Chain A
Amino acid sequence: AQKVTQAQTEISVVEKEDVTLDCVYETRDTTYYLFWYKQPPSGELVFLIRRNSFDEQNEISGRYSWNFQKSTSSFNFTITASQVVDSAVYFCALSEVDSNTGKLIFGQGTTLQVKP
């Protein structure tokens, strides 16, 4: 069965610290997409990144980087030199293409608090 697990419920760091948010997924599909979304207090989910199951290259975008490892079914997200504006709830999500469902399966979310 498909499932996304974000084991860290809450993380608190001090500004400028690096922080890694963990995501582990389960799927039987061979073709799938993985996503990270950010949900600030306003409530709107903001898209951060999408990776497909055939592309295990790590990606860096500014202070954000993502590490995708199929061998461990993980798709971790690292924020380098965190800032107060990074405080939000972060969701990892899975979309199974083989199943043609088009739906996103979300993890429970990790609340990140960055203190000044």
Chain B
Amino acid sequence: KAGVTQTPRYLIKTRGQQVTLSCSPISGHRSVSWYQQTPGQGLQFLFEYFSETQRNKGNFPGRFSGRQFSNSRSEMNVSTLELGDSALYLCASSLQEWDGVQYFGPGTRLTVT
């Protein structure tokens, strides 16, 4: 079974621009979560989607948004990029809503200049 895939793997953007990251979960998984990883803050939860509904959101500004499609694929969007948004963005999928093991993709490395 294919794992979680994320595109693109690397991205360089300029301050003020917006970016969209994509995540395809493991086949059959309906829950998708997003995390931001930075050297200073570590791994922080962004949001979780299940059956196209956002079930939970982390403590991030409204510039961070996401959605999930009927095929469980998910996208996250960051508008008005700031230098501090430079990070590794990890997507994870799980079979169950609350207590499923989350399997992670390789991440998208975003650099904001």
A interface, CB within 8 angstroms of B: 33, 35, 37, 42-47, 50, 52, 91, 95, 97, 100-109
Contacts and interface: CB of A to CB of B under 8 A. Distances in A.
B104 A108 contact: no
Closest 8 CB pairs of A and B: A45-B104, A106-B43, A103-B45, A44-B106, A102-B98, A43-B107, A102-B48, A108-B42
A106 B43 CA distance: 6
B21 to A, nearest CB: 14
B90 interface: yes
Contacts, number: 59
B56 A101 contact: yes
A42 B106 CA distance: 7
Contacts of B43: 91, 104, 106, 109
Interface residues of B, number: 26
A97 B101 contact: no
Q: Which among A42, A44, A95 has the greatest number of chain B C-beta atoms within 10 A?
A: A44
A43 B45 contact: no
Nearest to B48: A102
Contacts of B15: none
B31 A102 contact: yes
A57 B16 CA distance: 51
Contacts of B45: 103-105
Interface string B45-60: 1001010000110100
Contact of A35 (B31, B42, B101, B107): B101
Interface string B19-58: 0000000000001010100000011110010100001101
Given A107-B42, A108-B42, 10 more contacts: A33-B99, A42-B106, A43-B107, A47-B101, A47-B103, A97-B99, A100-B98, A102-B31, A102-B97, A103-B56
